[in-house]
C-alpha cells in the first residue's frame, strides 16, 4: 500500500468538498479530494427521476461559477450533477475517484492518517464532506418484520412510481422529500403519508410573490436561522433528526391529489402489516422517507456527541485540531445544507486551514510529496 503526504485531505467530492477545494486552491494550499464514486455528481444522479432543487438557479452556483440555467428555473438532478462535474473540471480540482476511505486515525507524529482501500495518506488537515445528514438509510428496527409480499424502498432507492407494486402505498416520513414522493406516487397509487408535520414554507417560490420574497427567505436561512440565535438553536435538532419543512409541495396539494395524511408515527408491525398509530394499514408498498444517520465509525477519534453527530462548531472540531466537517445540516445555519449556503461554510473552513498553516505545528513526516 502506497503512502502519500499532503497538507489537506478532503473526503467527498460533492458540493461541499468541491467548494472547500476551490477555496484552498485559491489560497495556494495543497490538497486532494477522495471520493468513492467513479464520477463527480453520481450522488445526485442516483436520486429520484423528478427531483428538482428547491432554490432557483441564480442562487445555486458554487464559488467562482454561476449555475448555467435560467435564473428563476429549478434545476433537476441531472443538471446539478453535470454542473458539479463541470465545476471540478473548470478548476482542475485534484480528485481521486474510486477511492473509499476506510479509516481516519491520529498520526503518531502529529496530524492524521487517512486509510483507503488502496492507499494511505498522511496529512495535517482533514475535511469530512460526506453528506448533509449522512448516507446510511435510517430504518426502524421492525422493518424486517413486514410481510415479504410488501415492497419496501428507502427514499434513496426510490426512482419513479413504476417501481412500485399494484396496491396502496404508505410513505413514512413527512419532511420535504417524503411529501414530494407521496405527491408523485398519488398520481398512480392510493397513497397514505405518515409522520409528524414538519411545517411548510407558506409561499410558492416559483410564483411572482415567491420570487419577490425569496431573497428574504435566503437572508433568513443564512443570517437568522443560525446556531447563534435562539430560534436557530431550537430549529437545529428538528432539522437534523426530522428533516426540513415542506417547500414545493404543500398540505393543500397533498389533499387535492387524495393523499391520506396521518400525523401519527409508524409504531410497529401487526400480522405482517405496518401499524400507524393504533391502526393497521393493509398496503402493498412502503417507502421509508425516514432520512439518514451519520455513520462515522471509520473515524477513530473521540469526536462524536451523545446524539451521534460530531461535536463541532461551524465545522471546526475543537477536540481534534485540523479536523473539519463541511456540508453538515446546520453546520452554521439552515442554509448550510443547501447550495445557497455551502460556499460560505467552505470559505470559512478554508480560512481556518490557511491560519493553521501559518502556525508552527508538528506534522507527519512526508512519505512522498503529492
CA distance 313 to 315: 5
CA distance 235 to 281: 32
Task: Please tell me the predicted confidence (pLDDT) of residue 353.
Answer: 98
Same domain, 119 and 165: no
Domain of 178 in residue numbering reads as 140-288
Residue 281 in domain? yes
Same domain, 122 and 241: no
- Give the end of a domain, one of 261, 288, 315: 288
Same domain, 91 and 181: no
Residue 363 in domain? no
CA 38-102-242 angle, 5° bins = 80
pLDDT tens, position by position, for the chain (370 residues)? Answer: 788 999 999 999 999 999 999 999 999 999 999 999 999 999 999 999 999 999 999 999 999 999 999 999 999 999 999 999 999 999 999 999 999 999 999 999 899 999 999 899 999 999 999 988 677 888 999 999 999 999 999 999 999 999 999 999 999 999 989 999 999 999 999 999 999 998 998 889 889 998 999 999 999 999 999 999 999 999 999 888 888 888 899 999 999 999 999 999 999 999 999 999 999 999 999 999 998 887 899 999 999 999 889 999 999 999 999 999 999 999 999 999 899 999 999 999 999 999 999 987 544 444 343 4
The secondary structure of residue 196, as a DSSP letter, is -
3-class secondary-structure state, position 22: helix
Same domain, 27 and 156: no
3-class secondary-structure state, position 178: helix
Measured in residues, the chain has a length of 370
Same domain, 196 and 128: no
Same domain, 274 and 158: yes
What is the grid cell recorded at 182? Answer: 407521496
What CATH number is associated with residue 87?
3.50.50.60
Question: Which residues are registered as beta bridge partners of 274?
Answer: 269
Same domain, 305 and 279: no
Same domain, 129 and 21: yes
Question: Which residues are registered as beta bridge partners of 285?
Answer: 151, 169
Residue 158 in domain? yes
Same domain, 308 and 278: no
3-state percent helix, strand, coil for the chain, nearest multiple of 5: 30, 25, 45
Whose CA is closest to 362, among 128, 123, 127?
A: 123
- Give the end of a domain, one of 259, 288, 317: 288
- Determine the distance from the C-alpha atom of residue 56 to the mean position of all C-alpha atoms in its chain, rounded to a whole number: 18
- Give the end of a domain, one of 288, 318, 346: 288
The phi and psi torsions of 210 (rounded to 5 degrees) equal -65, -40
Residue 370 in domain? no
Whose CA is closest to 129, among 324, 294, 309?
A: 324
Half-sphere exposure of 309 (CA within 13 A, CB side): 22
Task: Please tell me the predicted confidence (pLDDT) of residue 361.
Answer: 58
Same domain, 79 and 31: yes
* Matching residue, cell 400480522: 271
Could you give the number of structural domains in the chain? 2
Task: Please tell me the predicted confidence (pLDDT) of residue 15.
Answer: 97
Q: At what angle do helices 15-26 and 77-90 cross, to 10 degrees?
A: 20
Same domain, 346 and 267: no
What is the grid cell recorded at 339? Answer: 447550495
Task: Please tell me the predicted confidence (pLDDT) of residue 123.
Answer: 97
Residue 15 in domain? yes
pTM: 0.91
CA distance 302 to 130: 18
Give whole-number Cα distances, 25 to 219, 291, 357, in Å.
Answer: 28, 33, 14
> Terminal CA-to-CA distance of the chain, rounded, Å?
15
Residue 229 in domain? yes
Task: Please tell me the predicted confidence (pLDDT) of residue 201.
Answer: 87
Give whole-number Cα distances, 2 to 5, 31, 52, in Å.
Answer: 10, 17, 41
CA distance 98 to 243: 30
Residue 367 in domain? no
Give whole-number Cα distances, 332 to 21, 224, 316, 345, 353, in Å.
Answer: 19, 11, 10, 7, 17
Same domain, 35 and 118: yes
Sign, CA dihedral 298-130-332-47, equals negative
Residue 362 in domain? no
Amino acid at each position: 500500500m502506497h503512502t502519500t503526504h499532503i497538507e489537506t485531505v478532503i473526503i467527498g467530492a460533492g458540493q461541499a468538498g468541491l467548494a472547500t477545494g476551490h477555496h484552498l486552491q485559491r489560497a495556494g494550499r495543497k490538497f486532494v479530494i477522495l471520493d468513492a464514486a467513479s464520477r463527480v455528481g453520481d450522488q445526485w444522479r442516483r436520486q429520484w427521476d423528478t427531483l428538482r432543487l428547491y432554490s432557483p438557479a441564480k442562487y445555486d452556483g458554487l464559488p467562482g461559477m454561476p449555475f448555467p440555467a435560467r435564473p428563476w428555473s429549478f434545476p433537476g438532478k441531472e443538471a446539478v450533477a453535470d454542473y458539479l462535474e463541470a465545476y471540478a473540471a473548470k478548476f482542475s480540482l485534484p480528485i481521486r475517484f474510486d477511492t473509499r476511505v476506510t479509516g481516519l486515525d491520529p498520526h503518531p507524529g502529529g496530524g492524521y492518517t487517512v486509510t483507503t482501500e488502496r492507499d494511505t495518506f498522511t496529512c495535517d488537515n482533514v475535511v469530512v464532506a460526506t453528506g448533509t445528514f449522512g448516507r446510511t438509510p435510517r430504518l426502524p428496527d421492525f422493518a424486517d418484520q413486514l410481510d415479504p409480499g410488501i415492497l419496501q424502498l428507502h427514499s434513496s432507492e426510490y426512482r419513479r412510481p413504476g417501481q412500485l407494486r399494484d396496491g396502496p402505498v404508505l410513505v413514512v416520513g413527512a419532511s420535504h422529500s417524503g411529501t414530494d414522493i407521496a405527491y408523485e406516487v398519488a398520481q398512480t397509487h392510493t397513497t397514505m403519508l405518515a409522520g409528524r408535520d414538519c411545517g411548510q414554507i407558506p409561499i410558492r417560490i416559483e410564483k411572482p410573490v415567491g420570487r419577490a420574497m425569496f431573497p428574504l427567505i435566503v437572508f433568513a436561512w443564512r443570517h437568522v436561522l443560525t446556531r447563534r440565535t435562539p430560534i436557530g438553536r431550537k430549529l437545529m435538532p428538528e432539522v437534523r433528526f426530522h428533516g426540513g419543512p415542506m417547500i414545493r409541495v404543500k398540505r393543500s396539494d397533498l389533499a387535492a391529489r387524495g393523499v391520506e395524511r396521518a400525523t401519527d408515527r409508524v409504531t410497529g408491525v401487526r400480522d405482517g402489516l405496518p401499524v400507524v398509530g393504533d391502526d393497521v394499514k393493509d398496503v402493498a408498498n412502503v417507502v421509508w422517507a425516514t432520512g439518514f444517520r451519520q455513520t462515522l465509525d471509520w473515524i477513530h477519534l473521540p469526536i462524536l456527541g451523545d446524539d451521534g453527530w460530531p461535536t463541532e462548531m461551524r465545522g471546526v472540531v475543537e477536540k481534534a485540531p485540523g479536523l473539519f466537517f463541511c456540508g453538515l445540516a446546520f453546520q452554521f445555519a439552515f442554509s448550510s445544507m443547501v447550495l445557497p449556503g455551502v460556499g460560505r461554510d467552505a470559505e470559512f473552513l478554508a480560512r481556518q486551514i490557511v491560519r493553521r498553516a501559518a502556525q508552527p505545528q508538528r506534522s507527519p513526516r512526508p512519505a512522498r510529496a503529492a
